[in-house]
Structure 1
Amino acid sequence: MRLNIHTLIHPTIQKLAYEIIYQKSHKKLQDTDNEKTLGMLIFYEILRKCLKIDNIYIKKVDVLKERRLLNELNKYLIIANLIECHNMLADIQRILPESDLKHIDFNNIHNTFYCNEKLQEYKIIIFDKFLKNYGIIEIINYLQKNNQINLNHVKIICLTCNNNILKYLAKKHPQLNIYTTKIN
């Protein structure tokens, strides 16, 4: 079975991702803005088909008001290294107001990841800026074994991802959905 890899090819996403991937070591305000914009665009692109908006009409005596509300039946848990990705996740509450964030250090997975929530209630998004170490595999294994998570409800988002990690995930967990801008 093949892994579901989705390459985000929108020109704006590609341009901003390129600038972030190959940016110089000094941070500028523009880089922070680029990361915020890219984070919003990536989450919009990935979730636009599965988010449901309900139209509500409120009729008063002489006025009809219309409201659009996000269907809150779907809960989202975003697992990410919040220290590295805080800029990209800064405005996520605008798209997913009922989402929860969980910090994880992908480089030191043994000491940082434990989740006591009922994860079966959540759709899980794992966000790693540069998917280059095998910590993601330990998270997936943990979610599947300890929480009996349906991996069809797990989305992995990264700017770049390592080809070797993708090969491993394709063998062990082909039902995963991975969204990226570039494969190394």
Structure 2
Amino acid sequence: MRLNIHTFIHPTIQTLAYEIIYQKSHKQPQYTDNEKTLGMLIFYEILRKWLTIDHIYIKKVDILKERHLLNQLDKYLIITNIIECYNILADVRRILPESYLKHIDFNNINNTFYYNEELQKYKIIIFEKFLKNYGIIEIINYLQKSNQINLNHVKIVCLTCNNNILKYLAKKHPQVNIYTIKIN
């Protein structure tokens, strides 16, 4: 089966991402403003078809007010390495107020990912800057088996991802959506 891979083609997203990728590969200091802007743009792109907005009209005696509110029933869980991705995720709560962050070290998973609440009620976003190790597969296996999560409610987001990991995900979990800028 095929894997659902979505590449960001917007020139602003690509420019900011390639600056961050270049800075990482050449061990140069990273600019947090670029990462914050990139995070907002990436989350806008992945959420624009996933968010539901309720339109509310409030009628008063002489005026009519219109409000647009996010659906309060939708809750989002962002699984990420907060230490590495903090700058990118710093302003996400501005566009996604009903979101919760769960820290995980993708390099050292060893039974560190257990979440007590019912994961079925969340839409899950797994964010990793550079998807290069197989820890992501353990997380997806855990989500599917232990909590019986519908993997259509899971999105993996990364700046770059390894081709071998994509091949493995395509065999085991083809229904997962992956959003990336570059495939290595």
TM-score with structure 1 setting the length = 0.95
Question: By how many angstroms is 1:126 displaced?
Answer: 0.3
Off by >6 Å, runs of 4+ in structure 1: none
Supply the AA of the counterpart residue of 1:141.
Answer: N
**1:164 aligned residue:** 164
Structure 1 residues not aligned, in runs of 5+? none
CA deviation string 1:67-110 (max 9, x = no partner): 11111221111000000000111111111110111000000001
Distance 2:61 2:149 in 1: 49
Residue 134 (1) aligns with residue 134 (2): yes
Written as runs of structure 1 = structure 2, the 5 A alignment for 1:1-184 is 1-23=1-23, 24-27=26-29, 31-184=31-184
- Once the two structures are aligned, what percentage of the paired residues are identical? 83
CA deviation string 1:128-178 (max 9, x = no partner): 000000100110111111101111111000000000000000011111100
Question: By how many angstroms is 1:64 displaced?
Answer: 2.1
Distance 2:57 2:152 in 1: 34
Question: By how many angstroms is 1:111 displaced?
Answer: 4.5
TM-score with structure 2 setting the length = 0.95
Distance 2:52 2:114 in 1: 30
Distance 2:118 2:93 in 1: 21
Q: Secondary structure at the match of 2:87?
A: coil
